Structure 1
C-alpha cells in the first residue's frame, strides 16, 4: 500500500501558515490536518480539538514523559507538540497528513521522518511580517520585538527545508504548494508497489 505524505508547513510567526493551511485543506480533499497540542491559552474563537488540543503545562509534561509526541518544543514560553499516534495511523492507511508547526518542531521532524515534504513559508518582507503580527492585536512591544528577532533566525533556518514558498497572496502560495504535493505524490519511493510487475 502507498504510504501517505507527511506534509510539514512552517515559517516564522505571522507568515500566514494557518491561513494557507486552511486554504490548502479546502482545495486538497485527500489531506487531513494534524491537530497539535499546546499549553498556551486559547485565542478568541479557538476551540479545543479544532485549532489545538489545549492542555495545562502539567498535562503536557505528562504527555512528554509518556512519549506521546512526534515532536514538541517550548516556544515563547508555551509548549507545542504533535501527537504521534494519529500521524502513524493515517500515514499507514495511505492518507496524507498536514502538520502546521514551528520551525524548531519541523527540524525535529526532519530527523525522525526524512521522507516528509517540508515547506517553509516566507513573508513578502519583514515589514509585511511586522504588519501581520501587529494586526492580531495580541502582542506587546516587547513581545513583538522578540517575535521579529526570532523570525529573522527562523527565516535563515528555512534553507534547510526541501521547499520554500513565498506567501505574497494566499491563493498563489496555496497553488505553489499544490504543485509541490502533485510532484511529491509521484516520487518513486512513495509508490513502491508500482514497480511490482
Structure 2
C-alpha cells in the first residue's frame, strides 16, 4: 500500500470473456488489491454470496442508491437487470493509497470515464469471437434466448476496444491475471490513442 492516492483501474470486456474469473484470480493471489463489489438487481446464481460476489438489491433499493448519487456508475445490462458500483468505497480506497480494481461492463466503463477520466481503462478480450461463443455456451447458466441476447451485446462490446487504454487477451487466466496486476501496480502513462495490447 501507499500513502499517496492510487489510480483506479477499470477492467471491462464482452460478456463471458472471463472478467469475473480473472478478477477472482487477482483476489486470490493479490489480496492487497481491493476489488469493488457491484450492486445488482438480478437474482443470485448458484453459489453466489451477497456482499462477496455482488450486493443483491431490489429494484426499489437500486433506485434509492441512484437518486442519492451513491453510484459511481450503473447500467441496464443485456436489457434486463441493473448493475452498478457504489461510489464511496472506491473513493475511500483510492484516497488511502490502496490499489483498486473495478470489474464492470462497457456501459459502466463509459460512465466511470466521465466521472474519473484519470482512471486506467483495461479491455479484456477473447482470443477470438468463436472462443467467446464456446465459453458462453459452455457456461450453461443462460437459456438459448439469453445467450443470443448476450452474444449480440458482445458484438457491440468487442467493437469498443479502441475506447480503452490497454487491451489484455484472455487466452490464459494466469497470464491475464499477471498482466492485470502489473498494470494495477504500475499503471502506464497513456495518451488515449492506439490501444496497447498485452
The alignment's TM-score, normalised by the length of structure 1, stands at 0.90
Q: Is the partner of 1:131 in helix, strand or coil?
A: helix
Q: Is the 8 A contact 1:5 1:95 kept in 2?
A: no
2:132 to 112, 129, 134: 129
**Which consecutive unaligned segments of at least 5 residues does structure 2 have?**
190-198
CA distance in 2, matches of 1:175, 1:90: 22
Aligned positions of 1:83-122 closer than 5 A:
83-122=86-125
Query: Using the alignment, how far apart are the partners of 1:21 and 1:138 within structure 2?
Result: 19
Q: Where do 4+ consecutive residues of structure 1 move more than 4 Å?
A: none
Q: Cα deviations across residues 66-106 of structure 1 (Å, max 9, x unaligned)?
A: 11100000112101000001111111111111111001101
Aligned residue pairs total: 186
Contact 1:14/1:129 (<8 A) preserved: yes
Matches of 1:135 and 1:55 in 2, distance apart? Answer: 28
Q: Distance in 2 between matches of 1:141 and 1:164?
A: 29
Show the counterpart of 1:162. Answer: 165
Q: Which moved more, 1:36-45 or 1:5-14?
A: 5-14
Query: 1:179 Cα shift?
Result: 2.8
Greater share of residues in helix: 1
Task: Return the index of the structure with the highest Cα Rg.
Answer: 1
Pair 1:78-2:87 in alignment: no
Distance across 1 between alignment mates of 2:76 and 2:37: 17
Structure 1: unaligned runs, 5 residues or longer: 188-197
**Is the aligned partner of 1:183 residue 2:186?**
yes
How much does 1:29 deviate?
3.2
Say whether the 8 Å CA contact 2:99–2:185 is kept in structure 1. no
Choose from 52, 55, 58 the match for 2:57. 55
TM-score (norm 2): 0.89
Q: Is the 8 A contact 2:14 2:105 kept in 1?
A: yes
- 135-144 vs 4-13, greater mean Cα deviation: 135-144
Distance 1:53 1:183 in 2: 29
- Which string of whole-angstrom CA distances, capped at 9 and with x for unpartnered residues, describes residues 139-187 of structure 1? 2222111111111110111210001000001011112223323431x76
